[in-house]
A and B are shown apart, each in its own frame.
Chain A
Amino acid sequence: MNERLAAAWTLLPDYLGWHVLLSASALVLGLAISLPLAVAASRSPRLRWPVLALAGLIQTIPSLALLALFYPLLLALSTLLKGVLGHGFSALGFLPSLLALTLYSMLPILRTATAGILGVDPAVREAADGVGMTPGQRLVQVELPLAMPVIMAGVRTAAVWTIGAATLSTPVGQTSLGNYIFAGLQTENWVSVLFGCAASAALALLVDQLLGLIELGAARRNRALTLVGAAGLAVGVVLALLPLVKIGQPASYVVGAKNFSEQYILAELMADRLEKAGAHVARKEDLGSAVAYRALAAGEIDAYVDYSGTLWANVLNRKDNPGRAAVLAGLTSELKKRDGVRVLGSLGFENAYAFAMKPERARALGVASLADLARQAPGLTLGSDLEFLSRPEWKAVDGAYGFRFKAQRSFQPTFMYRALAGGEADVISAFSSDGRISADRLVVLTDPKGALPPYDAVILISPKRADDARLIEALKPLVGSIGVEAMRAANFSVDRDRDKLSPGQAARALAKP
C-alpha cells in the first residue's frame, strides 16, 4: 500500500508537469480564440447564433471521442504535408490533446464573454462614444472591464473542465495525470486510480480558487486581489513545469504499449533492455489498439508488441486462417512490403482466445477438446467477456464445431472468472496468457480443427528503426524467450488483489531466467 503510494509520488512531477502544460496551453489558446470571437458575436447578431450553436455542438461530443477524433485527422494532415513538403509532424500526443481541449474550453468562455459584453448598460456604451472613444478604446477601456467578472466566471468553468478532460489525453499518447487512472484501471491498482483522481481534482480546485480571486478582484475593482490571483497562477505554472525542463531531453527510443497489464510488462521489459544498452527510452502507454499500429508505422513509437491474429485481421483485413506459421510468415513479408514495419519475431507465447474449464468439471464430463465440448454443450452454460460473442473468432469456432449451449452469459473479465469458480458458467472464453488460468488451475481445451486464429505475441519495429543495430541487438534476444506459463505468472503478479507488483517489477522478474 505505502509502496504503491510512494511509486505514485515519484511519477507526480512528470505527470503533473505535462498535465499543467497541456491544460494551461489549451486554456490560453481557447481564450485567445474565444475572446475575439465573442467580441465579433456581440457586435453581429447574425454571427452570434452560429458561433454559439457550433460551440454548443462541440460540447455535446464526449471529450474522449473528441480527443480520439483528432488523431486520424492530424494523421491524414501529416501524411498530406509529408507528400507536399517532405515533412510531417507527430499526430500523436500533445497536438491532438491540445486541439481537442482547446475546442472544449471555448464554449463557456464564448458564452459568458458574449453575454458579458452584451450586458453592458447601453447608456454607458453610448457615453463611451460620447466622450470620444473609438470602438477599440470603448472595447478595451469600458466593455471588457465591465464584462470581466462575467468572463472570469466562464474562464473558471473552462479551467475546471479542461483540467478534468486533460486526464483523457493519456490514450492518445500524451502523458498526464490520466496515466495514473488508465494504468491503474487496467492493473486494478486502485491506489494509482485514486491518486490520479485526487491529483487532478486538487489541481482543478486550486486553479479555480486562484481564478476566483481574479474574478473577485474584477468584480470589486480591487487590483490587489486580481494581482494575487494572477501571480499565484503564474508561480504555480512555472513550478509545475520545472521538472519537464530536465525530463524534456529527447528520448532516443520510444516504446509503446496498449492498455492492459501484459502490454505494460512487455513495454517495461523492452525498455529495460534498451536502457541497459545505454539508450534513453520514453514510454507511450495506454494506446488504443488501432492507434498503436498506426503510430508505429508513422514512426511515433519505435517498438511495441502486438498479436499476429489482430494484425492479420485488422491491419491486413484478412478473414482466412491459414495456420499459425503461415500467418506469421505472411505478416512478416506483408507488413515489410506495405508499411516498412519489421516483425522482429514471436516472443514465444500466444495471447489467444481459449476455452477454459475447471479441471474437475472437465474430467467429469470427459471434455478435453472443443469437439468434446460441442457434444456436451446442450447441458452447459458459456460465460464470455462482453465482446467475444460478437467477434469473428466466435463465429469461426461456432461454425467449425456447431455449439448449442444451454445458455450464454457475458461478464466483465474479473466476474467471468468468478462465475466459473462459482458454477454460474461451466466454460469461459479466456485469454491464453491470462494469469488467472494458472492461478485457478484451469484446463484449456484443445482446438483439433484449428478454428481459433493464432495470436502469437510479436515484436514490431517502426520503419525508420528497422535496421537500427542497437535496437535490434537489444530486443532480438527476447524472441522465443517467453513461454506462456512465464507470461501468465507475470500477468498474475500484476493483476492479483494482494501483493501486487508494478509492471516494472513484473518485467524484471520475467527477465530473470
Chain B
Amino acid sequence: MASPAIALTDIVKRYGARAALDGVSLTVPAGQFVALVGASGSGKTTLLKTINRLVAPESGRIAIQGDDAAGQPAPQLRRGIGYVFQEIGLFPHLTVAENIAITPKLLAWDAARIARRVTDLLGLVDLPAEMAGRRPAELSGGQRQRVGVARALAAEPRVLLMDEPFGALDPVTREALGRDVRALHERLSLTTVMVTHDMAEAVLLADRIVVMKTGRLIAHGTPAELAHDADPEVAALMDAPRRQAERLRAKLGEGA
C-alpha cells in the first residue's frame, strides 16, 4: 500500500502552560481533500503549520509521503508543500508575478519555465494577465487571496495546505473559487487540507471533515458519517447548515 500523503502521530504543542495541540494524530491518504473545522482558538492553524514545520511541536512525529519531515532542512520541505496563509502574507515589495514566482525561483527553475508557469496560474485562479505587474497594495482583498492560492501552487506541490483561503470573498465568488480549487485538486491530484469556518463549504468541498476542539480531534469522517455522530456537539455542528437553510427558506418563503 502507498504511504499516506500526511501522517501526524501524537503531536503535542504547548504555548506556556496551555496545549494548543494536545496529542493529535491524523492520517491523510494521497489524493484526499480534508476540511479542518472547529471553534476559534481550537488549534486549526497550529496543526496546519506543524505539517510544514512552521510550528515546531514538543513531541510527536510528522511524515510527508512516508518520509520523516524532520529528515530534511525545513526550507526544502516547505518548497514542496503549498501553503495559503490565513493573513495571505503577500510580499508587498514584489509584483503579483514576482510573488507567484517566488518558490520556483528558490528551486532555480529557468526563467522561461517560470514565466509560463505564472501565466498558467493567473489563468487557473481566474485573474486577468494584466494583473501580473501590479503590487499587492493595488489589489482587492479577493484578488489578493487568489494570488495567495496561485503562489502556493506555483512550484507544483503534491500537498496543499490552506488556512481559510476564501475569507475575504463575497458568497458568490467564494463558492466559485471553492469549486475551482476542488477542480484543481482533482486535476493536479493534490492532497489538500483546508481550514474553514463555513460548515456548508466543508460539506460541499471535502471528502472528509476533521473536527477540532481545544487542541484535540473530536471527530473525523465523511460528511455523511459525521451527520450521524454520537457526539451531540458534532451532530449540532453538522446540522448547522441545514438548520440555517431551513430558516432562510422559511423567512424568504414568508416574505414571498
Contacts and interface: CB of A to CB of B under 8 A. Distances in A.
B151 A129 contact: no
Given A132-B75, A132-B76, A127 B89 contact: yes
Nearest to A221: B93
Given A126-B85, A221-B135, A131 B92 contact: no
A123 B144 CA distance: 14
A130 B78 contact: yes
Q: Is the interface of A mostly helix, strand, loop or mixed?
A: helix
Nearest to B103: A131
Contacts of B85: 123, 126-127, 130
Contacts of A132: 75-80, 103, 106-107, 155
Contact of B91 (A128, A134, A137): A128
A133 interface: yes
A131 B151 contact: yes
Nearest to A129: B54
Contacts, number: 60
Contacts of A271: none
Interface in A295-341: none
A146 interface: yes
A300 to B, nearest CB: 50
A137 B108 CA distance: 13
Interface in B135-188: 135, 151, 155
B237 interface: no
B33 interface: no
Nearest to A130: B83
A126 B78 contact: no
Interface size bracket, A side: 10 to 19
A137 B102 CA distance: 11
B50 interface: no
B92 A129 contact: no
A242 interface: no
A144 to B, nearest CB: 10
Contact of A124 (B78, B89, B135): B89
A145 interface: yes
A238 B78 CA distance: 46
A146 B91 CA distance: 9
B90 interface: yes
A241 B102 CA distance: 42
Interface string A193-212: 00000000000000000000
Given A131-B151, A132-B76, A123 B106 contact: no
A101 B102 CA distance: 40
A133 B83 CA distance: 13
A146 B92 CA distance: 8
Contact of A146 (B77, B78, B90, B93): B93
Contacts of A131: 78-79, 83, 102-103, 106, 151
A232 B135 CA distance: 28
B126 interface: no
Interface in A457-493: none
Contacts of A291: none
A130 B79 contact: no
Interface string A120-161: 010110111111111001000010011000000000000000
Interface in B31-90: 52, 54, 73-80, 83, 85, 87-90
Chain B CB within 10 Å, residue with most, of A127, A129, A221: A127
Given A129-B78, A131-B151, A133-B75, A124 B92 contact: yes
A130 B93 contact: no
A145 B94 CA distance: 10
B102 to A, nearest CB: 5
Given A129-B54, A132-B106, A133-B106, A142 B91 contact: yes
A124 B54 contact: no
B52 A130 contact: yes
A126 B151 CA distance: 14
Contact of A145 (B88, B89, B93): B93
A127 B90 contact: yes
A137 B106 contact: yes
Chain B CB within 10 Å, residue with most, of A124, A142, A146: A124
Contact of B54 (A130, A134, A146, A221): A130
Contacts of A137: 75, 106
A126 B93 CA distance: 15
Nearest to B52: A130
Contacts of B103: 131-132
A129 B87 CA distance: 14
A221 B151 CA distance: 21
Contacts of A126: 54, 85, 89
Nearest to B74: A129
Chain A CB within 10 Å, residue with most, of B73, B87, B91, B103: B91
Contacts of B83: 130-131
Contacts of B93: 142, 145-146, 221
Contacts of A121: 89, 92
Contacts of A221: 93, 135
A442 B3 CA distance: 109
Q: Which 4 A-B pairs have the closest CB atoms?
A: A127-B89, A132-B79, A123-B87, A132-B78
Given A132-B106, A146-B93, 17 more contacts: A121-B89, A124-B92, A129-B75, A130-B52, A130-B54, A130-B78, A130-B83, A131-B78, A132-B77, A132-B80, A132-B103, A133-B75, A134-B75, A142-B91, A142-B93, A221-B93, A221-B135
11 contacts: A121-B89, A123-B88, A124-B90, A124-B92, A127-B89, A130-B52, A131-B151, A132-B77, A132-B79, A134-B75, A221-B93
Interface of B: 52, 54, 73-80, 83, 85, 87-93, 102-103, 106-107, 135, 151, 155
Interface of A: 121, 123-124, 126-134, 137, 142, 145-146, 221
